[in-house]
Amino acid sequence: MAIGPSEFVSKSFYENNHQEQLLTQSAETMTSKLVQSASATLSIDLESDELAKMIQSALLPEIDASPTDRCGASISVEGATLIIELTAGDLTALRAAMNSYLAWVSGCKMAVESVSDTRQNP
């Protein structure tokens, strides 16, 4: 029995649509399997050992009372280098944590510099 043009188009469309859905599902599955977790290490060179330790102390409460469990962090100091290690369940959480920690370090550094400037120029 021959297939008419409209039956062929419908069958062809159905098969292509089904293949497209399978490819989309496969891509989503592969993506979710590829990014099981993400991590980053931020090494920030500062002017002094003392400044690195001050900023570490200022950021410790952020680690102890994290508002989310999507990302874990640890902070250490090696000389004048502040080292922040981040581990997250996904890239979005990692990016957000990196942005937050970098902003906090910047804010701490500016606050210390502001206080230093005030003490030097009363």
Please check the confidence at residue 122 and state whether its pLDDT lies above 70. Answer: no
Q: What is the pTM of this model?
A: 0.67
Confidence class for position 26, pLDDT limits 50, 70, 90? low
The pLDDT-based confidence of 1 (bands split at 50, 70, 90) is very low
- Cα separation values, 18 from 4, 11, 12, 29, Å: 21, 10, 10, 16
CA dihedral of 37, 41, 42, 45, whole degrees rounded to 10: 180
Residue 115: predicted pLDDT? 86
CA–CA separation, 28 and 25 (whole Å): 5
Domain residue limits, the chain:
1-34, 36-120
pLDDT digits (tens, 9 = 90+) for 38-82: 899 999 999 999 999 999 999 999 888 876 788 899 999 999 999
Q: Which fold has domain 36-120?
A: TATA-Binding Protein (3.30.310)
What phi and psi, each to the nearest 5 degrees, are found at residue 121?
Answer: -125, 75
Query: Using one digit for the tens of pLDDT, what is the confidence trace for 85-111?
Result: 999 988 889 999 999 999 999 999 999
Residue 22 clears pLDDT 60, i.e. is over it: no
| Residue listed under structure tokens 């330790």 | 53
Residue for token pair 């250490």: 76
